[in-house]
Amino acid sequence: MWSDLLFSVNTVVPIILIIAAGCGARKIGLLGEEGVKQGNRLVFYIFLPLLLFYNTKDSNIDVAVDLTTILYAVVTVILCFLLLFIFVPRLVKERNLIGVVIQGIGRANYAIYGIPLVMLIYPGADISIAAVIVICVIPIFNVLSTVALILYGGGKTTVWKIVKGILLNPLIIGTALGLAFLLLKIRLPEIIDIPVQKLGSIATPFALFLLGTNIDFSKAKTSIRLLSASVIVRLIVFPVIFLSGAVLVGIRDINLAALIALYASPTAVSSYPMAQQLGGDVDFAAQQVIFTTTFSGVTIFIFLFILKSLGYLA
């Protein structure tokens, strides 16, 4: 299991260093508030949609996968959001925090953590199950997060506003186009494919860098109870519930590893620019990503160690 611990360290520490670089740039005045807003718009409208498009269109679905695992992943992700939609509005009083808390707990950074984690646990194995889960759950994450942020954002909410927000969300558009290319087996010419890949690869490090510009631990202190609760539910409560359920329905080995990555990953980094663009509490969204990312290395290692020790991971 030392390799699992090393993976956690090698995954989390570089992310923290990129966030720290953004924090440093803001502290010494290299990047101002307007620059951060413009950067987040670039991430939300260009880089992240291209990343989702590229990863989706190049996924491999022409393989045999365990439908039980896929169905379980889809159902539990939807169930997770339904529970959040029911309980968070009753427990959180500040309206602009409700949508941010819902997406921060329900939306995992699976697109970044999922496949690499499964590859580490089962080196050289067929990890198609992890790729197919990406295709299935990322659209759910994006749609339900959009609904949460619009429903509990500023201004009057209507059904049309929610539908419009979903249809015009760049992340959903990028994923939908990727699925269309995948299902229709459309291939981009190399002269276009390479720039798309390069631009998409900017998304994660740049989003993390911009996230660091928003670090202010004094702001975290003002909502420490809510922040602590959201981090615990994201990294411990829901993983324990849904991984226990997976074990009970007989999901094992590489399929279970994919679900560990799904449930135990930190809050998606895209939550931060999306909250800013859709009127959520940006400071709280940033703290959710930072704190879940920081502690996820420990919790992921614990889940791997326990499930491996119990014989559920061969």
Return the domain boundaries, the chain: 2-309
Q: Is the pLDDT of residue 63 over 60?
A: yes
Select the more confidently predicted residue: 216 or 129: 129
- pLDDT for 56 beyond 70: yes
- Characterize 28-65 residue by residue with b for buried, 16 or more Cβ atoms within 10 angstroms of its Cβ, and e for exposed: eeebeeeebeebbebbbbbbbbbbbbbbbbebeeeeeb
Instruction: Please report which confidence band the pLDDT of residue 117 belongs to, taking 50, 70 and 90 as the band edges.
Output: confident
pLDDT at position 4 over 60: no
In the predicted structure, residue 156 carries a pLDDT above the cut 70:
no
CA-nearest of 208, 214, 202, 215 to 268 is 208
Spatial contact of 269 and 289, defined as CB atoms under 8 Å apart = yes
Judged by average pLDDT, the poorest of 53-62, 142-151, 204-213 is: 53-62
Give the Cα separation of 97 and 104 in Å (integer). 10
In this prediction, residue 235 has a pLDDT band, given cuts at 50, 70 and 90, of very high
Given a cut of 70, is residue 296 above it in pLDDT?
yes
Q: What is the pLDDT of residue 153?
A: 76
- Residue bearing the bigger pLDDT, 108 or 204: 108
Q: What pLDDT score was predicted for residue 158?
A: 75
What does the pLDDT read at residue 169? 86
- Closest by CA to 231, choosing from 222, 220, 242, is 220
Most confident among 35-39, 232-236, 280-284, 305-309 (mean pLDDT):
232-236
> Given a cut of 70, is residue 43 above it in pLDDT?
yes
Angle at CA of residue 283, ends 73 and 26, nearest 5°: 115
Say yes or no to pLDDT of 5 above 70: no
Band (pLDDT 50/70/90 cuts) for residue 288 is very high
Query: 123: exposed, middle or buried (C-beta count within 10 Å: 0-12, 13-18, 19+)?
Result: exposed
pLDDT confidence tier of residue 80, bands split at 50, 70 and 90: very high
Percent of the chain scoring above 70 in pLDDT: 90
Would you place residue 176 in the very low, low, confident or very high pLDDT band (cuts 50, 70, 90)?
confident
Q: What is the mean pLDDT of residues 13-40?
A: 87
Q: What is the mean pLDDT of the chain?
A: 86
Interval 131-144 mean pLDDT: 87
Task: Indicate whether 6 pLDDT > 70.
Answer: no
Tokens representing 231?
A: 């981090």
- pLDDT value for 3: 63
CATH class of the domain whose range is 2-309: mainly alpha
